[in-house]
Amino acid sequence: MSSDSGPRMTLPTQLVLRAMLAEPAQEMYGLQIGQAAELASGTIHPILARLEACGWLESRWEDIDPAKEGRPRRRYYRLSPDGAEHARTALARVHTPSALVSRLRAGLAGGAL
C-alpha cells in the first residue's frame, strides 16, 4: 500500500469497499461487514486495519454499558468522507469481471483466504 494509490486492491478489499459503499453513511461492525461482503468471519480485520490506516475508514467503540446490554462493546466502522470518494475512484479503476468476483466469492466465503 502506498500513500498515493491507497491500499492494495485485492479482491477481499474490493468486496469490503463495495459492501461499505452500498450505504456509505451507515456504521457497521466487523461481523456485519463480513456478511455484507460475503467474506468468512475472522478474515477482514487486516483489511479494515489497512483501510483505517489509509484514512479511508473511521472507527469508534459503541457507546453502551456492557453490563446493561449483556455483551461486550462493538467496534463500529464507517467510510470517511474522503475515503468514500477514494474508494469509488479505486474501484472504478480496478476492472474485476463480475463473473470472476462471484466465482471467487464462493471460495472467500468459505474462508479460503
> Would you say 38 or 52 has its CB closer to another protein?
52
Q: Which stretch binds another protein (CB under 8 A): 17-25, 42-50, 95-103?
A: 42-50
Q: Which of 9, 21, 36, 40 is the binder for another protein (CB under 8 A)?
A: 40
Q: Decide if residue 71 touches another protein (CB under 8 A).
A: yes
User: How many angstroms separate the CA atoms of 109 and 5, rounded?
Assistant: 27
Answer left, alpha or beta for residue 56, where phi above 0 means left and psi between -120 and 50 means alpha. alpha
Q: Decide if residue 81 touches another protein (CB under 8 A).
A: no
Q: Decide if residue 106 touches another protein (CB under 8 A).
A: no
Q: Decide if residue 107 touches another protein (CB under 8 A).
A: no
**Alpha-carbon dihedral 110, 50, 3, 93, rounded to 10 degrees:** 30
The residue ranges that bind another protein (CB under 8 A) are: 1-3, 29-31, 40-43, 45-46, 49-50, 52-55, 66-75, 111
